[in-house]
Structure 1
Amino acid sequence: MSGPVRTFRHYRNVPERVWRWPDFSPAEIACRGTGQFKLHPEAMDRLQALRDRLDKPLIVRSAYRSPDHNRAVGGPKASKHMDGTAFDISMANHDPVAFEAAAREVGFLGFGFYPRSNFMHVDLGPERSWGERFPDRAVPFAREAPPAREVLAQSRTLRGTGAAGVATVGVGGVEVAQGVLAEAQSAVLPLVPYLDTLRWVFIALALAGICVAVWARIDDWRRGLR
């Protein structure tokens, strides 16, 4: 499905009808120094195939270079960039080993490795390679082993706060009962003094529960469980 190689004075002059690479734009592939653009359909087909295979964006740092711009940046006299068949791709979001393997699978033959600048050069060939290969990278987001935690039903903190909550509700219930009984008939009035004692029992339980919860939390932190 390749077509003829065409050169445009500026990337804005590329007709929309000839652009069939959805993950790229003429501005990304054009000369960074002059805006000129050489459309090489076979090279673009392989670049799009590489994008599809990796299923990640390709950050194009350099693609086509006009002869003047190639001299200005110190490129080789026979640089494939001037043919529109070479691309310098950032490795910021790629594993270099996986990237190289995928690039070879879609048909790129020339590879240049630039780990210090964090990009890889790929072109249509001839088959060759140069530069120092990228060092092995650690997995960027290593899965950490979750810290040991208490089973929820066995949590000392939960038990302490639960006891404190129940006791607090009990205090409120006793006060409500006192109000009701105070308005009741005289036959039940003798029970009111006992409710004061029950209220203080609940208050003591609440304080004990809070103390247990605080102690459990401190002990968990000390043992590294939190």
Structure 2
Amino acid sequence: MTSYQHWRNVPAKEWHWPNFSPAEIACRGTGKLRVNADALDRLQELRVTLGKPLIVNSAYRSPEHNKRFGGAKASKHLDGTAFDISMANHDPVAFIAAARRVGFMGIGTYPRSNFVHIDTGPTRNWGEPFPPRASSFATDIPLAREYLAESRTFKASGAAGVGTLGAAGVEVAQQALAEAQGAIQLLSPYLDSLRWLFVALALGGIAVTIYARLDDWKRGQR
């Protein structure tokens, strides 16, 4: 074990726990720090096992701060072998099971303050049980199966949009040609047919969009 008068005095090369900082592990009242490598190794392993951050409420406590805090005279916090971890982002049952697997045998539960005490001392348990939660924390779900670029709804909507814009464009062209010379006006009947073609495309796209939406809803894709 190595002790420091303040966590800022810890040489960077002496700190080997990437998911934690000296400030997180130091005494909250004095800034003093006692580094217990074995306990910190287990804490780092627990962090890797759970795959999500551990919010450390309290770790090492200096004797003077432990007294002011009202901690036990033989508290494991005095040795730097105990950690109080918030359950704000963890399921207590899963957390405690993982903590035991990595070697934390002292387990204290404090549901009213929403944290769990873990230490490397002898096997023992104390505290009140956490009340059952409505559900455990959900795991990350994969992205939706249907990508937007491959969506039938997206493609049909695009066709409807093209049809609508095309029909509008033909309408504008017809109005422009109405003011042109007679020779060019001969094209007007063909443009009229083209406009109706775009109208049909737009209506077809809208119909496919509605069908795809209903079909996707039935499949539970959206």
Q: What is the TM-score normalised by the length of structure 1?
A: 0.68
Instruction: Look up the SS of the partner of 1:111 in the other structure.
Output: strand
- 3-state SS of paired residue (2:125): strand
Give the match's secondary structure for 2:171. Answer: helix
2:30 aligned with 1:34, yes or no? yes
1:68 CA displacement: 1.6
Q: How do residues 75-154 of structure 1 correspond to structure 2 at under 5 angstroms?
A: 75-134=71-130, 135-136=132-133, 137-139=135-137, 152=153
Residue 108 (structure 1) shift: 0.5
- Aligned mate of 2:52, from 53, 56, 66: 56
Measured in 2, the distance between the counterparts of 1:138 and 1:22 equals 27
TM-score of the pair, normalised by structure 2: 0.69
Change beyond 3 A, Cα 1:33–1:153 = closer
Looking at structure 2, the residues matched to 48 and 177 of structure 1 have their Cα atoms a distance apart, in angstroms, of: 77
SS at match of 1:130: strand
Q: Which amino acid aligns with 1:84?
A: G
Identical columns (%) = 49
SS at match of 2:23: helix
The structure with more radius of gyration: 1
Give 1:152's aligned amino acid: T
Deviation at 1:39, TM superposition (A): 1.6
Instruction: Report Cα offsets for 1:104-141 as digits up to 9, x if no partner.
Output: 11111011112222221100021111222333234458
Q: Distance in 1 between matches of 2:34 and 2:124?
A: 23
2:39 pairs, out of 14, 37, 43, with 43
Distance (whole Å) between structure 2 residues aligned to residue 118 and residue 88 of structure 1: 10
Offset at residue 178 of structure 1 (A): 3.0
Which residue identity does 1:52 align to in structure 2? V
1:73 and 2:69 aligned: yes
* 2:49 partner SS: helix
Counterpart AA for 2:168 = T
Q: What SS is found at the alignment partner of 2:46?
A: helix
How many equivalent residue pairs?
204
Change (3 A) 1:153 1:118: closer
Q: Give the structure 2 partner of residue 165 of structure 1.
A: 165
Q: List gaps (5 residues or longer) in structure 2.
A: 145-150
Q: CA RMSD in A?
A: 4.1
Measure, in 1, the Cα distance between the counterparts of 2:154 and 2:57. 56
Write the distance in 2 (CA, Å) between the matches of 1:67 and 1:167.
Answer: 83
Q: Which runs of 4+ in 1 moved over 6 A?
A: 157-160
